[in-house]
Structures are given as structure tokens and as C-alpha cells.
Structure 1
Amino acid sequence: MRALEDLVLLASINLNKRLGATSARSDLSAWLHAHGVKIVLAQEPFKPVNRTPPALAGFTFAGGDGHLATWVSENLAPPAVSSPAAWVQRVELEWLVVLQVHLDAYSSAARAAQLAELASAATTERGRPLLICGDFNLAPLPRDGLFGEEPSTFTTQAERKALHHLMQVAGLVDTTAEEVPVFTFERVSNGKPSRFRCDLALLSSHLTATTTVTADASARSGPAAFTDHSALLIDLPLTLRETEPDTVLFSLSELAGEGPAAAAARPEYQPHKTAMSRQAPSPAARAVVKHLTGPLNIQSILDHGCGRGADVAHYRSAGLDTEGFDPHDAFGWPRPDRTAFDMVTSMFVLNVLPDPWQRIQALRDAASFTRSGGTIVVVTRSPDEITKAAADGGWSVHHDGFWSSRAKGTFQRGIAKDEITALARHAGLQPTENCPALPLPGVCHAVLTKPRDLLHGS
């Protein structure tokens, strides 16, 4: 039942059907162990596609076939793996969804259509953190595909337009894009070098600050090479478990108060234990009243995740129509029946939620109480403050933050303004234009707007 303390290194690589050979399998195993890889996503791992998957020393086969396959370190519980189509595999790694792909190698029209399908699939994930990786068989930019010294004509504009659309609708970043490309596939064709950056890792924008992606050419060069593609090594900010993960506290079902099962659950994470006992309002709540409610003509406020309610009392004392909500029943602030508040505040909530998916859900839930065009104010502890507290307190790493007290089940992560904004965009929110910054030294904050076309649950 223990969590693994080290974060997770994932390798995505096209094995070009070579895993059936004992020598290639041995070289791959040595490479995986030398790099400390925990999860292997393989495109074209073996042939024929329906054969029994070859065994990898130290790894458990998690699912797939000769098109796409996944292995995990034998001390990890295998993730849920499914195959929506022959060219895409869906892997659930706790809060992160990974779509492993191998796009068509022969038809540009097929690749464009597959990218359009990926865009639709990403939309159905409803903002869940996403990694799409594998062999895309295309060059995202002309400089990423060369024949000789000139741009290759292999990739069409239609493909690039479809790739751009996918990244735009899903909020993804091409993590290995560089002014000078690092090519992941090279060969000589008709006497000229053909070079492509075609092995890609597209990542949710709010994860880029905590995820390192590198292309490792050692997989295809030197005496121990086992394929003709570079591998992508992706250091993910998550902690996997040896058993199924416990139910989380701040889930949408609990936020919505759905049935006795949510209340009866005894989750590992207990963010309510981070709530401060204080009589005075927080400096953040005082700043909201002093600097925002007047200029923004705010008449009504919901404090979302209000804890014991000191800030609710402050808003009410300022003459604002105010309610509070906290999912921890003992605090006595049940989910309100009304919505359409002018403003919703979220004070030090995101930084105690143990993964980005819960943070996005919490933001989306906060927005559900805000009127169309209304304001959401998010305040978090800063990365500097949490880093110092973790060092001073000997906190252990968990996901993209730390256990502040493992015995209590409390988590902390410092979240900068840019990350708040990136999370908010995935929740359908936008930064408020021409809004002055609040004078809140030592913490981070963002003032957000609910677009007029954003529907609850969209």
C-alpha cells in the first residue's frame, strides 16, 4: 500500500518490429535499466501483431499488441490500458491520460484524419491532464523534416494544420520543438540524408514546468542500438503506487454531494487538515474587498473551499451578499443551492490538492457557481515558500509536490501565477483583462473570468 517515492520516467520509442530478436530485447532491457525507466510505450514492438508479447526482464506487460504495447516496472500495478483504434492506445496513469500513437506511415490524408480523431478524443477527456506521444510520422514544421538540406515534401500543410488544431483545442505543447531540431529518425534515401523530428510528446500546457522531455539517440546509435528511432524520455511529475490508488477527497462527485458513498469513503488525501484555525480574515480576503469588489461592482461572493469561514464573515461585514462552501462536512458549509455569484474566491485550495486533474476540477466547480462573465479569484502558496518549507520540514516528494504530513494525509504544492492561469484555461476560464494585481507579497494569485459561453460541466 506504500507509494513509490521516486517520480516516474516513461520511455516512448518505435522499436520497428525488432523486439522478437533476443539481442534487441537484451539491449533494450539493458538500456531501460540503465536509464531507470518505469514505463515503456512501444510503437511497432514486434511482429506478427497478434503474437504473444515478448517478456522484458523486470517489466510486466500491461496491454497492447504488435502495433502499440505498454510495459511497466514489475513493482508497479499495471495501469488501465485500452485500444480505441489500431493506431492509438490509451493508458491511465493515475490522474494523467496518455495516448500513445503510431500514425499512418504511408498516407498524409490518413494522418490528417487521425489527428482530427485525436482532437475529438482529447475533447472527451474534458480537460484531464494529457500526454500524447509516439511516432507521428510527420514533421511539425518544415525545418523538422529535411531531405538533403532542403525541407522534405513528405509532410503536407493539411497535416500540420490538423496537428495545430489538436494542440489548440487540447491545450497541448510540443515539448521537443527547438529552433534547431533534434531529429529522432535519420536514414539515407536516394543518396541523400532524410532526417525527421517525428517522434513527439504533446503535453498539457500546465505540466510543462514540471515535466522534462528529452530525445535519447543512444537507442539508435552505437553497438548497443536496438532500433532506428531515438527514444523520448519523459520524466513525469507523478507518483505511482503498487496497488490501486485510493479515492481522492476533492473529487467532482464529492463536490456535488453525490450519495452516501462519497461521505463514507476514507481517502488517503485529507486537504481539510491544512485549513487554518483563525478568527481574523486572511490578507487575501482583505485585499479582495479593498481592491476588487468596488472596481468590479461585486455584490455577491461565494468563498469556495472556505474552511472554517473566517473570510465569509469578512465579506459579509463589508456588506457583500456572501455564502461559503467547503466539501469537508465538519466545517459546516454545505454546497449552496444558489449559483450566479458575481465572484467566487478560491483561497489556498489548489495548492493542497494532490494532482493537476483535481485542481482543474476544483476550478471548474468554482466556475459553476459564477455568473456568466463573473470573476474567480484564485490565491495559492508560492513555489518559493513551499520549496523552503519542504526543505526545512524534510517533506517527501509526492506527484508534483510534497507530503507536508504523510501521517495526516496533507499535501502541498507551490503554484505560480502562470500555472494557475494554465490550469484555468484547461478549466475553460480566462485571465481577466486590465485587472490590477493584488498587493499580496509572498503568495501567488490570478483574477479570472468565466466566459459568457462557458456552460457548467463543459
Structure 2
Amino acid sequence: MLLASVNLNKRLGASGARSNLAAWLREHGAKIVLAQEPFKPADRTPPALGGFTFVGGDGHLAAWVSEDLAPPTVSTPAPWVQRIELEWLLVLHVHLDAYGGASRAAQLAELVTMATAEPGCPLLVCGDFNLAPRPADGRFGEETSAFTTEAERQALQQLMQVAGLVDTTADDVPVFTFERIFNGKPSRFRCDLALLSDHLTATTTVTVDPSVRSGSAAFTDHSALLIDLPLTLQAAEPDDVLFAMSELTGADPASTPTRREYQPHKTAMSRQAPSPASRAVTEHLTGPLDVRSVLDHGCGRGADVAHYRSAGLNAEGFDPHDDFGWPRPQQTGFDLVTSMFVLNVLPDPWQRIQALTDAASFARPGGHVVVVTRSPEEITKAAADGGWTNHHDGFWSSQSKGTFQRGIDPGEITALARRAGLVPAAGAPVLTLPGVCHAVLTKPEA
């Protein structure tokens, strides 16, 4: 899903600029437009943008979504920031103070609070920051610009560090997004930014497009950011349908899942024997890690729990699907918590982080969590063979059943696990399991 972020410098009220913007959006297939300074603040009615629905904002910040998509939830915590909920992704759309360094530093401090209100939630902070993140990102003539203060840069670094964000356009050689002549000298800045949760950078492409500020098709004097996110948005409800299809056919509405009715429990296999992954745990991990108690988190029907018990371990299981009969245990403080083929059936990074956070809550401090997933290579092949449909960062393995699959490699497991407060286990044995990936993690001591 392509999101466009651009400072329009109050030009959207002009029909020529509006027409050029609409053509550019069509050319690239953008589905969401986030605009800083889109029109004059005094204009109370936002200009219509062909093919898009206005979903909130004003002359400082405004957002549009493609008319074939359901409008997201948009709020305005402060005049300089919009909060936009895109499925599992939280977007903070910003236009920081253009005139005061102290004000920008204070706004960045407020962003830290907003960004950490839901710990671990996948996050994009984008817009016009009106600052140079590094000295090299701001130039006045041939010298380093003094416009950005060190306090602002420290505040920005604090935001990125605390929220686990990456400055996605920070190349060794800066690509300036704003240039103008000031007092006879060129003033150049990389001030239009996209800060993204670190675990999303492998699946997200961010492109700086300077073409929008030059030539006959120009519509602003800032470069635009094109952010291609691993995100599938809900389709808009038709406004000319009188009856739902289930009413016309007599079908039970619950029998036809909508796009949001995920049913990951339907991927659980009916095993008569323990999984190869659980056998590898007892053969290679429980001894070296001195494991005596195990919780299988997301245990399905419990075949692996029976295996752990047969190996002499104090083992329990938990699965959120009630019909499997493994309710949430009262016991915590397990030496080891296993998560076998759970993350790859959850349809977005936020659910995976939440599942890992819950799994980690059962481990004792200093205990371990082992995560096993299907490999990207295996899922890619299965998707091609089965004609699976793309969805978010993976595939519908069966849209009628509501089942999802994504291949997850060890690096991604670790990046997600860090959001759940887990770290890689130093010196842990490596499991050899064909077609799958794994990571052995530790819950740090308090």
C-alpha cells in the first residue's frame, strides 16, 4: 500500500497544482495522501482531490484516502500532528514549527510520549520536521547551516532510540528535500522525513521524489516521500447496495469471513506424534539450558505438551482458541516458553509482537523463549504452488477459512522479540530443522 507524504506549501487551492498532484498520485498508484500545509489555513473547506476522500485535517495537516478504501480513524492530538490508525500501523503525521528550535525540541519530546503510549506498536512518523537530522543534512551556501540546534538533534535521536525508529532516507550523501535561495545563497535541507519501526524496514520501501518540485508538472517546492508499506487496507463499503449478499442468498453471514475475520486456529495440525520442532527442543535445548519446566504457548491440540511431559518436564500448554481445551494457566515463571508456528499465522507485526509479549510474560527472569516459524522460502513456494493471494506482508493461505501465512526469518523474529522485551540468548544451541527458522531468546533479569 503506497502512502505519499508531501508539504504542498498551501498550493492545493490552485487548480493547476491540484491537477498535477492528482495526475502524480494516479501515476504512482498512491492510496493515502498526507499533506503538510495543503491549503491556506483560512480556507475552511478542503479542496476536492479527484479519486480521494478527505478524512481529516485542516490547512496545517490533512489526509486523504483513495475512494475505494474505508476511511481510517484520524485524530488531531495537537495542531502540528495527526494520529492516523492504518489497520495495525500507527502513523503520526507531523509538521513541526518552522520558526523556533526550542518549539521543535518540545514537540519532539511530545512525540516520544505519543509514540510510546502503546509499547511495541508498529509506528511511522512522517512529514516535514523543519530541521536537519544531521549537520550534513542542512547547508547554507557551502557551509553547514546553523538553523538546527543541537538540542533538536538530541530530541530527535531520543525519539528514534526510545521508539525504535529508523530514519529511512538517511544516506551517506544527503538527498535534500527542500532548496531555496535565501540572502543570495542556496539553502538546502533534508527535512521531509519518514521514521519507521526498525522491524518494518525490510518490508517497506521509501523513495524520495524530487520531480514534484520542478518542471511543468510541479505542484510544490518540497520533494515528496513515497512509502510502500506491507499493509492491506479494508475496502470501502458500496454506498449503493441495499442488501448484503447473505440476505439475498440466505447464507449465514458468519459463514463468509470478511477480510478482518482471521482464524489462525484453523492452521493447527491434528498431530498423533510430537512435532519435529518439539523433539529438537528436548534433544538439543532442555539439557544445555537446564530446563525443567515448559509452557507451549499457542499449543493447538497439545501433542507437543504431551511430548514434553513424556520427557520428564513439568509442561503446560496454552491456546487462546477455547475449543482446543488449553485455558490460560495460572502458573508463570517457566524455565522455557515455546512458540511453535504461531507468529507466521498472525496477519500483522503488531499481533506478532503482542503474542511474543504474552509468551514472555510466562517465562521467569533469565528464562528462555524459543520461537519457531516457517521459512520465507517455504512460504514463497507454497504461495506460488497454491495461488495464494497477497495480504499485508504475507498471504491468505485460504481466504474462505480466514487463514494467513508469512515466512519469518531469524532476523525478523529477533527484531520483533526485542519489542517484547526479549534478547537473543548468548551461546544457545542451534536447532537444525528443514524448512523452518528459529530463534532462542532470553528474558533479561530484572
Report the TM-score when normalising by structure 1.
Answer: 0.91
C-alpha separation in 2, matches of 1:125 and 1:223: 44
1:171 has 2:164 as partner: yes
CA contact (8 A) 2:120 2:419 kept: yes
C-alpha separation in 2, matches of 1:339 and 1:326: 15
C-alpha separation in 2, matches of 1:212 and 1:219: 19
Residue aligned with 1:208, SS: helix
Identify the residue that residue 198 of structure 1 maps to in structure 2: 191
- Deviation at 1:368? 1.3
C-alpha separation in 2, matches of 1:441 and 1:143: 47
Letter in 1 for 2:98: A
Counterpart pick for 1:416 among 399, 409, 427: 409
Counterpart pick for 2:138 among 112, 128, 145: 145
C-alpha separation in 2, matches of 1:271 and 1:48: 47
Identify the residue that residue 26 of structure 1 maps to in structure 2: 19
1:67-92 Cα deviation digits (max 9, x unpaired): 10000011111100000001110000
Identify the residue that residue 298 of structure 1 maps to in structure 2: 291
Name whichever of 211-220 and 144-153 sits farther off: 144-153
Identify the residue that residue 109 of structure 2 maps to in structure 1: 116
Name whichever of 412-421 and 23-32 sits farther off: 23-32
Letter in 1 for 2:189: F
Residue aligned with 1:209, SS: helix
CA change 1:49–1:386 in 2 (3 A) is farther
Counterpart pick for 2:330 among 337, 346, 351: 337
CA contact (8 A) 2:67 2:236 kept: no
CA change 1:451–1:332 in 2 (3 A) is same
Letter in 2 for 1:289: T
Identify the residue that residue 276 of structure 1 maps to in structure 2: 269
CA contact (8 A) 2:410 2:437 kept: yes
- Deviation at 1:441? 3.1
Identify the residue that residue 182 of structure 1 maps to in structure 2: 175
1:250-283 Cα deviation digits (max 9, x unpaired): xxxxxxxxxxxxxxx9962111111111222112
Identify the residue that residue 253 of structure 1 maps to in structure 2: none
Name whichever of 435-444 and 91-100 sits farther off: 435-444
C-alpha separation in 2, matches of 1:157 and 1:295: 49
Residue aligned with 2:358, SS: helix
1:316-351 Cα deviation digits (max 9, x unpaired): 111110000111112111111111111110000000
- Deviation at 1:426? 1.3
Counterpart pick for 1:223 among 211, 216, 221: 216
C-alpha separation in 1, matches of 2:131 and 2:94: 12
Match runs of 1:257-406 below 5 Å: 268-406=261-399
C-alpha separation in 1, matches of 2:429 and 2:34: 46
1:157 has 2:119 as partner: no
Residue aligned with 2:4, SS: strand
1:16 has 2:9 as partner: yes
Identify unmatched segments of 5+ residues in structure 1: 1-7, 245-264, 454-458
1:436 has 2:414 as partner: no
CA contact (8 A) 2:207 2:227 kept: yes
Residue aligned with 2:27, SS: helix
Residue aligned with 1:180, SS: coil
- Deviation at 1:402? 0.2
Name whichever of 285-294 and 358-367 sits farther off: 285-294
Q: Structure 1 vs Structure 2: percent identity of aligned residues?
A: 78
CA contact (8 A) 2:56 2:63 kept: yes
Letter in 1 for 2:181: V
Name whichever of 288-297 and 38-47 sits farther off: 288-297
- Deviation at 1:353? 0.3
Name whichever of 45-54 and 171-180 sits farther off: 45-54
- Deviation at 1:50? 5.4
Identify unmatched segments of 5+ residues in structure 2: 238-256
- Deviation at 1:440? 2.1
Identify the residue that residue 71 of structure 2 maps to in structure 1: 78
Counterpart pick for 1:69 among 37, 52, 62: 62
Identify the residue that residue 211 of structure 1 maps to in structure 2: 204
CA contact (8 A) 1:49 1:65 kept: no
- Deviation at 1:367? 1.0
CA contact (8 A) 2:294 2:334 kept: yes
CA contact (8 A) 1:424 1:430 kept: yes
Residue aligned with 2:116, SS: helix
1:78-114 Cα deviation digits (max 9, x unpaired): 1000000011100000100100000111111111111
C-alpha separation in 2, matches of 1:422 and 1:321: 30
CA contact (8 A) 1:184 1:217 kept: yes
Alpha-carbon RMSD across the aligned residues, in angstroms, is 1.4
Letter in 2 for 1:184: T
1:182-205 Cα deviation digits (max 9, x unpaired): 111111222222111110000111
C-alpha separation in 2, matches of 1:373 and 1:202: 32
Report the TM-score when normalising by structure 2.
Answer: 0.93
CA contact (8 A) 2:373 2:436 kept: yes
C-alpha separation in 2, matches of 1:137 and 1:48: 18
Match runs of 1:40-79 below 5 Å: 40-49=33-42, 51-79=44-72
Residue aligned with 2:92, SS: strand
C-alpha separation in 2, matches of 1:209 and 1:165: 23
Residue aligned with 1:343, SS: strand
Identify the residue that residue 130 of structure 1 maps to in structure 2: 123
CA contact (8 A) 1:49 1:67 kept: no
Residue aligned with 2:203, SS: coil
Identify the residue that residue 452 of structure 1 maps to in structure 2: 445
1:37 has 2:30 as partner: yes
Residue aligned with 1:213, SS: strand
Letter in 2 for 1:179: D
Identify the residue that residue 98 of structure 2 maps to in structure 1: 105
Residue aligned with 1:440, SS: coil
Residue aligned with 1:377, SS: strand
Residue aligned with 2:416, SS: helix
Letter in 2 for 1:438: L
CA contact (8 A) 1:281 1:311 kept: yes
C-alpha separation in 2, matches of 1:49 and 1:342: 62
